[in-house]
Structure 1
Amino acid sequence: MTNAKQSLAGKVALVAGGTRGGGRGVAVALGAAGATVYVTGRSSRAGRSDLERPETIEETAEQITAAGGAGIAVRTDHSRPEDVRALVDRIAAEQHGRLDILVNSVWGGDPLTDWEHPLWEQDLDTGLRLLRQAVETHVITSRFALPLMVARKSGLVVEVTDGNTARYRGSFFYDLAKSAVIRLAVAQAAELEQHGVAAVAITPGFLRSEAMLEGFGVTEANWRDGAAKDPNFAHSETPTYLGRAVAALAADPGVMAKTGRALATWGLYKEYGFTDADGRQPDWPAHWASALEEEHGPLGDPL
């Protein structure tokens, strides 16, 4: 694998939705590979988003810089086209029109997801709001950011999702959102290929985000204790693993061969050789096949 400290030196990235979780993991990993990373979201030291969580884009930017890159926090509501237009105009002005990597990781749908009820018993306004938050934000961001890549005839778009198979994800609007994000990658790949720009979707396995750690009553320092509540937690992965997968893709000169595909950390580590923060190489489908398939059925083939 290319030296992570040098592989993305001089590259410019935008991680939309990089405040926490997988987005933060990707942003910091790109910084560790030497990139200049614009990290955006609504949670800032100037004020929290409606999620009311403590993580901020400024913290992520500081972690990017500490890792060896250049982190630039820009408070942005990606559901507002005027906000995104201003963000992209700023990147173009500050980076002489350069944008090499776009990561669409806006989510914020956890409090909007109803895991208990079928579609006909769910609150329609809440479900539609989830789709706007998790899908429309990606469309808006790509609409304004892609011209920078098209103009330079190079770049990589990454759509962060959950799952890369047709298996139902357990909640109607959640499943629709995560499946739609994969189609966003497919559609962008089809339109961008002639311009030398690649587009892929990528999923982590069982992601050990800040919220997930809290839900299990553990910290990253003692995360293994969470397996007492759910043995599957022992096979989880940190946001760093996802980040290193994206950094490896961004550094791969042959990434166009993957355009239009739905990828996963568990497939990419075998190709690029990266590890999680603790040196492990979690493989969620392998665990599923050995421990969960008999009860829940196979995960299915990648889309």
Structure 2
Amino acid sequence: MAAPTDPDALRGRIAVVAGATRGAGRGIAAALGEAGATVICTGRSSAGGNLTSDYDRPETIEQTAELVTALGGTGVPVAVDHLDIAQVRALAARIGGDFGGIDILVNDIWGAEVLKGAPPTWNRPMWDHDLADGLRILRLGLDTHLITSHCLLPLMVGRPGGLLVEVTDGTARYNAEHYRLSVFYDLVKSAVNRLAFSHGHELEPFGATAVAVTPGWLRSEMMLDNYRVTEDTWRTALTPNRPDGPTAPPGFADSESPRFVGRGVAALAADPTRARWNQQSLTSAELAREYNFTDIDGRRPDGWAGA
């Protein structure tokens, strides 16, 4: 089994994972912690805050920060609604005062899994979708990223070697050639790849790098709950005619834990030649092959193989 990132590879680096409460965001924060980084974990789901998420879920940013610290980094939870410009500006001011700047910014803000609808609602004309829901998908998936970058990138460009990671679903090439669920979802997931391209154009003169990264079939907390399994028992979801839950399709065999894409981000951040990836769209599996790491179970899945 290939070892995870050196536990001191990112020691002393300051990272912000925007949208760190669950899913890929939590996995990325955890993997940065594995590499020794200080990780500011933001999101709306807080144990002590008054903000509310679009999901009725138990995960909190405090839990993510505790995981970061348990894995060897330093986790700092900060409750933020990334659609609220004043809150994101306050986050920037706090980070500037406490740390002076940042080295890594991960935009993993989403929150529209419920709004995108269940599979029977996909592939319908956009006029058959609820317009308010569709526009909120755009706000959650695009406005949040733009607001966060506008407020936090000034903290990164003063430190040569910074890294911006835009997290999406699907590579730029795949999304350009395939329609994704609905006009609203398709637009968001394609546009986030383009954000990395355009950010990279503007960041390059400052010695910083921007990339888009997509996981494969992600075993998020919501996905595990959907199949009524845990990370330790996920393979049982593939059992035909299960009596205790729905049977996952065969592609679930190539699913990955959130830590897998996280280890890809950590490897990018630790690579002194990461500028070679500027403006590119990458998968977690591509990064695993390049940097020789595995998922937490020792596998190296590729949910995009053949796509």
What TM-score, normalized to structure 1?
0.92
Match for 2:64 among 47, 60, 63?
A: 60
**Counterpart of 2:276?**
257
Match for 2:116 among 113, 117, 122?
A: 113
**Counterpart of 2:242?**
none
Alignment check: 8 A CA contact 1:28 1:60 kept? yes
Q: Matched residues in 1 for 2:6 and 2:262: separation?
A: 11
Q: Matched residues in 1 for 2:261 and 2:76: separation?
A: 20
Instruction: Return the offset for 1:170.
Output: 2.0
- Secondary structure in 1 aligned to 2:75? strand
Alignment check: 8 A CA contact 1:130 1:173 kept? yes
Alignment check: 8 A CA contact 2:101 2:158 kept? no
Instruction: Return the offset for 1:175.
Output: 1.2
- Secondary structure in 2 aligned to 1:285? coil
**Counterpart of 1:173?**
184
Q: For 1:212, give the aligned amino acid.
A: M
**Counterpart of 1:271?**
290
Alignment check: 8 A CA contact 2:5 2:34 kept? no
- Residues 15-43 of structure 1, C-alpha deviation per residue, up to 9 Å, x if partnerless? 00000000000001001100000000000
Structure 1 residue 94 and structure 2 residue 98: aligned? Answer: yes
Q: Matched residues in 2 for 1:260 and 1:102: separation?
A: 15
Q: Give the alignment of 1:136-215 within 5 angstroms.
A: 136-164=143-171, 165=174, 166=176, 167-215=178-226
Alignment check: 8 A CA contact 1:226 1:234 kept? no
**Structure 1 stretches of 5 or more lacking a match?**
290-298
Q: Give the alignment of 1:46-57 within 5 angstroms.
A: 46=48, 47=50, 48-57=52-61
Poorly superposed stretches of 4+, deviation over 3 Å: none
Q: For 2:170, give the aligned amino acid.
A: G
Q: For 2:235, give the aligned amino acid.
A: R
- Percent of paired sites with the same residue: 53
Bigger shift: 209-218 or 147-156?
Answer: 147-156
**Structure 2 stretches of 5 or more lacking a match?**
240-246
**Counterpart of 1:294?**
none
Aligned pairs, how many? 287
- Secondary structure in 1 aligned to 2:58? coil
Instruction: Return the offset for 1:217.
Output: 1.4
- Secondary structure in 2 aligned to 1:112? coil
Instruction: Return the offset for 1:232.
Output: 1.5
Instruction: Return the offset for 1:120.
Output: 1.7
Q: For 2:287, give the aligned amino acid.
A: L
Q: Matched residues in 1 for 2:95 and 2:265: separation?
A: 21
Match for 1:246 among 259, 265, 282?
A: 265
- Secondary structure in 2 aligned to 1:78? coil
- Secondary structure in 2 aligned to 1:257? helix
Structure 1 residue 4 and structure 2 residue 11: aligned? Answer: no
Q: For 1:192, give the aligned amino acid.
A: L
Q: For 1:176, give the aligned amino acid.
A: L
Q: Give the alignment of 1:213-228 within 5 angstroms.
A: 213-228=224-239
Instruction: Return the offset for 1:89.
Output: 0.9
- Secondary structure in 1 aligned to 2:158? helix
- Secondary structure in 1 aligned to 2:288? helix
Structure 1 residues 146, 210: closer, same or farther in 2, change over 3 A?
same
- Residues 210-261 of structure 1, C-alpha deviation per residue, up to 9 Å, x if partnerless? 0000111111121001113122211100001010000000000011110100
Q: Matched residues in 1 for 2:5 and 2:221: separation?
A: 28
Q: What is the RMSD computed on CA atoms of the aligned residues?
A: 1.3
- Secondary structure in 2 aligned to 1:111? coil
Q: For 1:263, give the aligned amino acid.
A: L
Q: Matched residues in 2 for 1:62 and 1:120: separation?
A: 44
Instruction: Return the offset for 1:153.
Output: 2.9
- Residues 30-84 of structure 1, C-alpha deviation per residue, up to 9 Å, x if partnerless? 0110000000000011254231100000000000000000000000000001000
**Counterpart of 1:292?**
none
- Secondary structure in 1 aligned to 2:218? coil
Q: Give the alignment of 1:118-133 within 5 angstroms.
A: 118-133=125-140
Alignment check: 8 A CA contact 2:89 2:151 kept? yes
